[in-house]
Amino acid sequence: MLLSDEQLLRYSRQIMLPDIDIDGQQRLLNSRVLIVGLGGLGSPVSLYLAAAGVGELWLVDDDLVDLSNLQRQIVHTTERIGESKVDSAKLALQAVNPDVQVHALCQRLDADSMADVVAKVDLVLDCSDNFTTRFALNAACFAAGKPLVSGAAIRFDGQVSVFDPRNPESPCYQCLYPQGDDQALSCSESGVLAPLVGIIGSVQAMEAIKLLAGAGKSLTGRLLLLDGRRMEWREMRLSAEPQCPVCGAG
């Protein structure tokens, strides 16, 4: 289906980009994306993907909006304290772009439900805050052959990478963090500076849009690390572990 005049105007600044053009914008409109976690990272991710014209967004989070969230979780508002985060986010995203289809799942996914929803989408964004979910999403994405855009942020420090099973040289999340490394810190225990999650979430959204539209070069095989205190970025090269139980021969 051709873009309408209203869509051509709404997305005109993206369509101007040679890497996107009308074909790339059409790919975005035809895309389905899963966002797991509608907190600090999921807020900018969901807002930017909705604004950019990703056609279908699946939102998963089993938490409710709390006053302590509002310092950084910009998709939520004071009036929606006590509501489910996915329903709160759905209202915000539909206000930004009513053409986007938003599916709100207020639940914690088990292995079966995670595999089911991953199979329905083209790309997954991990905006969760615990290793259990991250490992499970990683396994589900590699089993289904779906790219995974992963982000994390705590205190002043953040990181982001892309794990893409369509690329035979791509590592997976478990290559970076073996399953036994489960000492994850939480914002409630360690704190986080509000703009940090905005920066990391925005990078996640950028990577997702690039992958969906077929633009630029993704972060596959690279890990970006941000030291917010010094405002310094570092890049680490990642390689697949041959004995990884998820993506290797192990």
Q: What is the CATH number of the domain that holds 167?
A: 3.40.50.720
Question: How many domains does the chain divide into?
Answer: 1
Q: Evaluate whether residue 127 is within a structural domain.
A: yes
Which pLDDT tens digit goes with each residue over 46-96? 999 999 999 999 999 999 999 999 999 999 999 999 999 999 999 999 999
**The pLDDT of residue 190:** 76
Task: Summarize the confidence of residues 191-198 as an average pLDDT.
Answer: 94
Q: Evaluate whether residue 219 is within a structural domain.
A: yes
- Distance from C-alpha of 211 to C-alpha of 20, rounded to nearest angstrom: 11
- Distance from C-alpha of 46 to C-alpha of 42, rounded to nearest angstrom: 6
Q: Evaluate whether residue 50 is within a structural domain.
A: yes
Q: Evaluate whether residue 244 is within a structural domain.
A: no
Which pLDDT tens digit goes with each residue over 136-180? 999 999 999 999 999 999 999 999 999 999 999 999 999 998 875
Q: Evaluate whether residue 2 is within a structural domain.
A: no
Q: Evaluate whether residue 229 is within a structural domain.
A: yes
For 213, the domain range is 15-237
Q: Evaluate whether residue 181 is within a structural domain.
A: yes
Task: Kindly report whether the global pTM for this prediction surpasses the value 0.75.
Answer: yes
Which pLDDT tens digit goes with each residue over 201-217? 999 999 999 999 999 99
| 8 in Cβ contact with 15 (< 8 Å) | yes
Q: Is the pLDDT of residue 13 over 80?
A: yes
- Distance from C-alpha of 247 to C-alpha of 243, rounded to nearest angstrom: 8
- Distance from C-alpha of 208 to C-alpha of 78, rounded to nearest angstrom: 29
Q: Evaluate whether residue 22 is within a structural domain.
A: yes
Structure tokens at 16: 């101007």
| 228 in Cβ contact with 158 (< 8 Å) | yes
CA-wise closest residue to 206 among 90, 48, 16 = 48
Q: Is the pLDDT of residue 100 over 70?
A: yes
Structure tokens at 53: 């014209």
Percent of the chain with pLDDT over 70: 94
Q: Is the pLDDT of residue 250 over 60?
A: no
